[in-house]
């Protein structure tokens, strides 16, 4: 009788379990989440994903090239437009393919003559391949990833290697990259060539400029995240833009040819590691050989320039410290920064001390007017950042600029010579102040939604003594202005 009772109980339990299982199976599966702007666009499955971005930026500028309000040949305004569309295919959990097209154009620039628009023509690069890569994870059963093809390379704060997103064309590389991640460490080994943007033809690879390196990020020490890097550059030629007589332009790579190594480290404090205090610093040294780093010929205004191969020995430093008020309205933070990069005291000897800025994203760091790169500079800055709402960020920044050496070139964010050989020739005559000027920037960013970001900025450059000392008519100068509004739609 006891055995019969146990059998009935077991039979009942099995029947109940079957009934419950049948009920669960008969319930309809949960409805898929409704797509909304900002979500990935999945094409039939989680393995095929479409992305799209459209950015529109209106700019207006005055005197920012020649700092001369008499000629009126360096002022204008217009619209920069950039559209991207990409497709990611996750073939397996470990193998992915990605292809992305980009179309960059400019509209409506008021050039006030022939000259002003030439700095803007190479912002055009009609539809072309921006990215196209294969990624394989878990190589050899190890935490090793290979990424091969046209891709973005960006490291640290991007002061030396970056995607330069501010630029209408931005920057990519035809490269191979191996990434190893374990124990909190991430180590990249990469090699590749920068992609040049052509306005009237398919974008090309600058095979005269090989960039290779190892970039390691540690799990952090003493309250800091820390990076260590070694970068080698082998450049045999200069890719320059044409003389702006046609619309067929190349977004050139005008850095000096050479063979040199850059060794550096970057330390950034972890969030709340030091309470309300924060810090960030980076230092790099360079050694090797370089040829004609001024970018000019064997003589400028009668002053000899060494155009042969020279030794390169240079250094650069970024230092920043600040304080953030977490329990104050607008949650402001205030930081004091200093940027330094060596310049060359003698363009006619056998050693160049001009720090080479490699292929960076300079726009956020040395004033939004982009009059400086991390070369031949001394730049103290004071930066105030506030957050009136969670979606709105306002930044006020003041920069002052000196050249490390007036016998070296004053270089803009694209590493070209401000004022060309004419201004540089006057600097070489001597008796020139190293104070270039000061810049005041105001930038507001508003994340209107997941898919829409708004941004606006204004900058005023107060021209300094170097500008008047090296002007075509000595003693003349004019301040410069720059303003923009930008919208970015991302799907």
Q: DSSP states of 93-127 as a string?
A: SSEEEEEEEEEEEEE----TTTTTTHHHHTT-EEE
User: Model's pTM, two decimal places?
Assistant: 0.88
Alpha helices in 91-241 (DSSP H): 118-121
For residue 255, the model assigns a pLDDT of: 84
The predicted model gives 204-224 an average pLDDT of: 92
* Of residues 77, 85, 78, the one with CA closest to residue 103: 85
Which of these CATH numbers, 2.40.160.100, 3.30.1330.60, 1.25.60.10, 3.30.70.890, describes 55-490? 2.40.160.100
Return the beta strands (E) in 298-357 as ranges: 299-300, 303-304, 309-324, 333-341, 351-352
307 vs 394, which has greater pLDDT?
Answer: 394
- Average confidence score pLDDT of the chain: 88
- For 363-376, write each residue's pLDDT tens digit: 999 999 999 999 99
Q: DSSP states of 363-415 as a string?
A: TTTS-TT----SSSEEEEEEEEEEEEETTEEEEEEEEEEE-S-TTS--B-TTS
* Of residues 318, 235, 233, 310, the one with CA closest to residue 284: 318
The structure tokens listed for 119 are 């700095």
Q: Is the dihedral of CA 57, 59, 65, 71 positive or negative?
A: positive
The structure tokens listed for 435 are 């104070």
For residue 226, the model assigns a pLDDT of: 96
Q: What is the distance between the alpha carbons of residues 417 and 412, in angstroms, rounded to a whole number?
A: 6
- For 394-444, write each residue's pLDDT tens digit: 999 999 999 999 999 999 998 889 988 999 999 999 899 999 999 999 999
For residue 13, the model assigns a pLDDT of: 42
- For 16-44, write each residue's pLDDT tens digit: 343 334 434 445 556 556 777 777 788 87
The predicted model gives 192-217 an average pLDDT of: 91
The structure tokens listed for 104 are 């960059």
Q: What is the distance between the alpha carbons of residues 157 and 229, in angstroms, rounded to a whole number?
A: 13
pLDDT band at 74; cut points 50, 70, 90? low
Rg (CA), the chain: 27
For residue 168, the model assigns a pLDDT of: 92
- For 162-200, write each residue's pLDDT tens digit: 999 999 999 999 999 999 999 999 999 999 999 988 877
For residue 7, the model assigns a pLDDT of: 43
For residue 9, the model assigns a pLDDT of: 42
């Amino acid at each position: 009788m006891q055995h019969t009772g146990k059998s009935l109980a077991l039979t009942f339990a099995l029947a109940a379990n079957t009934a419950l299982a049948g009920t669960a199976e008969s319930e309809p599966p949960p409805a898929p989440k409704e797509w909304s702007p900002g979500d990935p666009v999945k094409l039939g499955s989680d393995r095929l994903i479409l992305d799209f971005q459209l950015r529109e930026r209106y700019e207006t500028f005055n005197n920012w090239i020649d700092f001369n309000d008499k000629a009126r040949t360096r002022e204008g305004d217009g619209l920069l437009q950039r559209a991207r569309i990409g497709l990611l295919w996750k073939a397996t959990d470990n193998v992915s393919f990605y292809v992305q097209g980009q179309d960059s154009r400019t509209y409506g620039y008021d050039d006030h003559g022939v000259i002003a628009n030439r700095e803007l023509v190479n912002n055009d690069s009609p539809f072309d391949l921006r990215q196209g890569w294969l990624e394989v994870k878990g190589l050899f059963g190890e935490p090793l990833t290979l990424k091969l093809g046209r891709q973005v390379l960006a490291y640290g704060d991007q002061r030396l290697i970056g995607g330069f997103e501010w630029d209408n064309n931005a920057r990519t590389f035809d490269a191979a990259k191996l990434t190893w991640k374990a124990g909190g460490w991430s180590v990249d080994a990469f090699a590749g060539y920068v992609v040049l943007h052509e306005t009237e033809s398919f974008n090309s690879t600058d095979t005269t400029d090989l960039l290779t390196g190892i970039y390691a990020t540690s799990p952090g020490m003493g309250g800091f995240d820390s990076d260590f890097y070694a970068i080698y550059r082998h450049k045999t030629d200069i890719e320059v833009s044409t003389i702006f007589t046609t619309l067929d332009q190349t977004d050139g790579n005008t850095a000096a040819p050479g063979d040199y190594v850059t060794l550096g480290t970057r330390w950034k404090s972890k969030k709340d590691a030091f309470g309300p205090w924060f810090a960030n610093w980076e230092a790099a040294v360079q050694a090797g050989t370089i040829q004609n780093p001024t970018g000019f010929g064997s003589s400028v205004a009668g002053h000899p320039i060494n155009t042969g191969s020279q030794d390169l020995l240079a250094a650069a430093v970024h230092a920043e410290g600040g304080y953030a008020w977490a329990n104050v309205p607008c949650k402001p933070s205030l930081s004091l920064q200093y940027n330094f990069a060596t310049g060359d005291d003698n363009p006619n000897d056998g050693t160049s001390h001009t720090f080479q800025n490699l292929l960076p994203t300079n726009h956020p760091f040395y004033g939004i007017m982009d009059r400086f790169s991390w070369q031949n500079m001394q730049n103290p800055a004071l930066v105030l950042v506030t957050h009136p709402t969670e979606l709105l960020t306002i930044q006020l920044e003041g920069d002052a600029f000196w050249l490390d050496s007036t016998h070296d070139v004053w270089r803009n964010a694209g590493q070209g010579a401000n004022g060309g050989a004419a201004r540089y020739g006057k600097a070489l005559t001597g008796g020139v102040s190293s104070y270039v000027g000061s810049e005041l920037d105001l930038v507001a960013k508003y994340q209107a939604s997941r898919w829409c970001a708004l941004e606006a900025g204004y900058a005023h450059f107060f021209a300094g003594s170097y500008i008047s000392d090296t002007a075509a008519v000595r003693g003349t100068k004019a301040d410069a202005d720059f303003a923009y509004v930008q919208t970015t739609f991302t799907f």
